[in-house]
Structure 1
Amino acid sequence: MEKLSKQDSVKGPEKMFTGDVYFDVIAAGTEPSRVRVNTVRFAPGARTAWHSHAVGQTLHVTEGIGLVQARDGEIIVMRPGDTVHTPPGEWHWHGAAPTHFMTHLAIWEGTGDGSPESTWGELVTDAEYGRGVLPTDTP
């Protein structure tokens, strides 16, 4: 058994995130494991760019209120305790509601063959994100 050393929190890069997003790596998929787990913290209104995962992704909300949307799909509101799965190759984005912080665990796998585990696209526009504004925006 090995206790892993704690890494510093990392600010999400501007080409992948809009707004203030920070993540902490929990599991980096040290071979032979391919599992990746990050705690991701979003400031109000912050969100990912459109992206997909070769082997899918599971999100589990631990705090706050978040939004997630598959390309051409409905925006889903996520609250603490909610778990959402995006299947392999599905383009999606996720982030915090406009007036709430949101923290989730992001869980995904590497491919095992060296090909990219995630593909990143364009940033989610304010108009796309604005469709997710909650009518009352309350918990």
Structure 2
Amino acid sequence: MELQPATPTTQGPAELFTGDVYFDVIARGDAPSRIRVNLVRFAPGARTAWHSHSLGQTLHVTDGVGLVQARGGEVTVMHPGDTIYTPPGEWHWHGATADSFMCHLAMWEDDDATWGEHVTDEEYGAGAS
């Protein structure tokens, strides 16, 4: 057994996020484990850029109200207790609604994410109300 001390909160970089986003690393498994878990906090209106994960990603909303969208799909509203799975290679974005903070656990198995362009205000606005 090993106690892993908390790591400092990190602000999400502007090239990957719009708005104020902060994350705390909860778990980063040592081989052979590949688990990655972050607690991510989004300020109102904040969101990721479009991205995909080679092995998929699971999001579990812990607080607030959020939005998530797969490329070509509808914007989905997320509430505390909701869990979203994005399969390997699926382009998507996620973030807070315009008037609410949102926190989620982000879980994935490797650091092989592909990042794309920022979500436009028009794309975000389709589900922000």
Q: TM-score, normalising length from structure 1?
A: 0.91
Cα RMSD for the two superposed structures: 0.8
- Deviation for aligned residue 1:64: 0.1
Other structure's SS at 2:7 match: coil
- Deviation for aligned residue 1:30: 1.6
Q: Percent sequence identity over matched residues?
A: 67
- Deviation for aligned residue 1:117: 1.6
Partners of 2:80 and 2:10 in 1: CA distance = 23
**Structure 2 unmatched ranges of 5 or more:** none
Other structure's SS at 2:122 match: helix
Partners of 2:58 and 2:22 in 1: CA distance = 18
Other structure's SS at 2:26 match: strand
Paired residue for 2:23? 23
Paired residue total: 129
The correspondence of residues 1-139 of structure 1 with structure 2, limited to 5 A, is 1-110=1-110, 117-134=112-129
Partners of 1:76 and 1:61 in 2: CA distance = 13
The runs of at least 4 aligned residues of structure 1 exceeding 4 Å deviation read: none
Paired residue for 1:137? none
Amino acid at match of 1:3: L
- Deviation for aligned residue 1:29: 2.4
Other structure's SS at 1:93 match: strand
Q: TM-score, normalising length from structure 2?
A: 0.98
Other structure's SS at 2:124 match: helix
Amino acid at match of 2:24: D
The CA deviation string for residues 64-112 of structure 1, in whole angstroms up to 9 with x for no partner, is 00000000100000000000000000000000000000000000001xx
